[in-house]
Chain A
Amino acid sequence: MQSSQFLQVGFARVKARFEQKLALWLPDLTSLASRLRDGQVPSDDMKDLCARVHKIAGSAKTFGYPELNHCAAELELLLLARQGQKQSRVEQAKLAPALAEFVSHIEAAAKTGSTMHSETTTAPAQKNASQYTILVADDDEHIADVLEFSLVGEGCAIVRAADGDAALELANKTTVYQWDLIVLDVNMPGKNGFSVLKALKSNSNTAHIPVIMLTRRDEDENVILGITEGAVDYIIKPFTMDDLTLRISSAINRHKVQVLIADDDELIREVLAQKFQRLGYRPVLAANGHEAWQKLQQERPALAIVDIMMPGMDGFAVLHQARHNSATAEIPIIILTAKGQQQNILQGLEMGAHDYIVKPFDLDELSARVSGILRRSRAKT
């Protein structure tokens, strides 16, 4: 029967996600267990622990881990007694070993989960080369469900937030989750998508994570606002699956695209680094020609922006080296030249620069040129 097949597949996916969560939680819980054994643990961490234990006590049995469930239930009682401050000395003493036991059960479950995935027959074949961790922030659970079903099928680990505050809290847990992407709804109660986006981009902990905004068809100005604030892309509801997966994989992959910025002016380096980071790329910096040439060879960026006037090895020398080396010959290079230096532009182009831009430059114009070049070079491969 079609429905029960869907149910089986759905169940397998949810179970897989549960096991992925266990594996993700393991390092944090292990460290917490040893800290608790050695002494006091901050109340925020305890709150976090309670939430996780509660979750496992509620669902482990459903996913086939009755012992883990039992252990979690005992631990939850101990934690609740502690919170209510009615914890007896015996209970206090039990806490650290109970947590240690809990952690070992999780370890066992996470291991079972990972070996089971390679044998699974009910879930559809997963084509994940790298597993992406995606935060989905949307108060509309149907949209979140759809996103989740399609993305989990692609091999992604999805974590959901129902509002802005929850999203920010989760996004900040960068020691627990290696976020590849955040999908953010514009219309959420409380903190709306834009304030969340701003908060994400102004926090150095989370600024580098690419963000895609979800917006309704009739809200065009939101799109511009989002891109200005640093979102890498937007998806308009109602969306098609193809559009969704395409934009998501492109946003995530852009994150892996390196852009070299070579300029002896520190301010220019900072401004450009920030801009490209907000656009979702990974900036690589060089303060002079020699460093630029080194990084070109080492990092093989997708594109390089090189200032002409640099002390020591200048932009021309970098260009020359890059073009005469097979490893770096194909890397598009944009040269930065000062106003009134027409001959630099001509020489640069003749030496193989892809494009040029004159200082003082318009940041948005430069970004547009960069995106254009990268798009065209992607189309070639």
Chain B
Amino acid sequence: MKQELKKILYVEDDEDIAEIATITLQELGGFDVCHCFSGCEAINKFAQFKPQLILMDIMMPEMDGPTTLLELKKQPCWQDVPVVFMTARVQTHEQKAYLDLGAEGVIAKPFDPATLCTTINQMWEQSRAK
């Protein structure tokens, strides 16, 4: 049974990037997006929103992406959902490190609005196939 991706939890501290990505995901992708400005907010909203996928910035003040993921996994409400990281700095060895953390994929910034939704759907399919 092929399940469609609808709900995305999006974690990004930069309001301008967040706005563009959110519009893109909502308008072009038709997704239901819950945006959080920080790792803390994401942890608070996770249980209530019940996302199917998490799109998360890596470089955030206070709690960065990878740390947020680790904290999320410790929560009792944690469900195994695919996580996609977004970062302005993508070196190959860093990419591998993020995948080792359990991320489904890494999207480089600046992202192309035209392909963002397709890429996310692809990663969603990829995680379902496992």
Q: How far is the CB of B119 from chain A (nearest CB, A)?
A: 16
Range for the number of chain B residues in contact with chain A: 20 to 34
- Chain B residues with Cβ below 8 Å from A148 are 19
Q: How far is the CA of A145 from the CA of B35 in the complex (A)?
A: 11
Check B6 for interface membership: any CB of A closer than 8 A. Answer: no
B20-45 Cβ-contact flags toward A at 8 Å (1 or 0) = 10111001100000010100000000
Q: Is A27 an interface residue (CB 8 A)?
A: no
Chain A interface mostly helix, strand, loop or mixed?
A: helix
Distance from B39 Cβ to chain A, minimum over Cβ atoms (Å): 14
B16 touching A14 by the CB < 8 A rule?
A: yes
A143 CB to nearest B CB, Å: 13
Are B89 and A3 touching (Cβ within 8 A)?
no
Residue of B14, B57, B89, B111 with most chain A CB atoms under a 10 A cut-off: B14
Q: Report the Cα distance A18→B110, complex, angstroms.
A: 15
- On whether A58 and B23 interact (CB within 8 A), knowing A69-B88, A73-B89, A160-B15, the answer reads no
The CA of A213 and the CA of B35, in the complex, are separated in Å by: 24
With an 8 A cutoff between CB atoms, is B102 at the interface? Answer: no
Is A368 part of the binding interface, using a Cβ–Cβ cutoff of 8 Å? no
Q: Does A59 contact B (CB under 8 A)?
A: yes
Q: B17, A7: Cβ atoms under 8 Å?
A: no
Docked complex Cα distance between A149 and B14 (Å): 17
Q: How far is the CA of A141 from the CA of B17 in the complex (A)?
A: 14
Which chain A residues (144-167) contact chain B, with CB distance < 8 Å?
145, 148, 160, 162
Q: Given contacts A7-B28, A162-B37, are A61 and B19 in contact (CB under 8 A)? A: no
| Residue contact A14 to B88, C-beta cutoff 8 Å | no
Knowing A6-B27, A62-B110, A141-B35, the reply to whether A57 touches B88 (Cβ < 8 A) is yes
Inter-subunit contact B17/A59 (CB<8 Å): yes
A361 within 8 Å of B (CB atoms): no
Asked if A54 CB lies within 8 Å of chain B CBs, one says yes
- Which of A3, A10, A54, A57 is in CB contact (< 8 Å) with B19? A10
CA distance in complex: A69, B27 (Å): 28
Q: Residue B61 at the A interface, CB < 8 A? A: yes
A125 at the interface (CB under 8 A from B): no
Query: Which residue of chain B lies nearest to A11 when distances are taken between CB atoms in the complex?
Result: B20
- Nearest to A159 among chain B residues (CB) is B15
- Write the nearest CB–CB distance from A313 to chain B, whole angstroms: 55
Bits for B83-123, please: 1 = Cβ < 8 Å to A, else 0: 00000110000000000000000000111010000000000
Q: Which residues of chain A are within 8 angstroms of B109 by Cβ–Cβ distance?
A: 58-59, 61-62
A3 x B37 contact (CB < 8 A): no
Q: A17: CB under 8 A from chain B?
A: yes
A93 within 8 A of B: no
Classify chain A: how many residues form its interface, as a range: 20 to 34
* A56-73 CB contacts (< 8 Å) to partner B: 57-59, 61-63, 69, 73
Chain A residues in 8 Å Cβ range of B14 = 55, 58-59
Q: Does B5 contact A (CB under 8 A)?
A: no
Q: How many A-B residue pairs have CB under 8 A?
A: 57
Chain A residue numbers with a CB within 8 Å of B81 are none
By a CB distance below 8 angstroms, the chain A residues around B28 are 3-4, 7
Contact, CB under 8 Å: B19 / A14:
yes
Residue contact B16 to A59, C-beta cutoff 8 Å: yes
Please measure, in the bound complex, the distance between the C-alpha atom of A14 and the C-alpha atom of B20, giving whole angstroms. 7
B36 to chain A, nearest CB (A): 9
User: Is there contact, CB below 8 Å, between B17 and A62?
Assistant: yes
Q: A363 within 8 Å of B by Cβ?
A: no
Structural contact, B24 and A7, CB atoms closer than 8 A:
yes
- Compute how far the CA of A14 lies from the CA of B74 in the bound complex, rounded to whole angstroms: 36
Q: Beyond A3-B28, A10-B19, is A54–B113 a contact (Cβ under 8 Å)?
A: no
- Does B27 contact A58, Cβ atoms closer than 8 Å? no
Question: Which residues does chain B contribute within 8 Å of A58, judged by CB atoms?
Answer: 13-14, 17, 57, 59, 88, 109
Docked complex Cα distance between A148 and B16 (Å) = 11
Q: Which of A11, A51, A58 neighbours the largest number of chain B CB atoms within 10 Å of its CB?
A: A58
A57 to B60, CA, bound (A): 11
Q: What 1/0 mask marks residues of chain A from 1 to 28 whose CB sits below 8 Å from any chain B CB?
A: 0011011001100100110000000000
Q: With A58-B59, A73-B88 known to touch, is A7 a contact of B16 (CB < 8 Å)?
A: no
Q: How far is the CB of B21 from chain A (nearest CB, A)?
A: 10
A-B contact pairs, 7 of them (CB 8 A): A6-B27, A54-B59, A58-B59, A59-B16, A61-B88, A62-B110, A62-B111
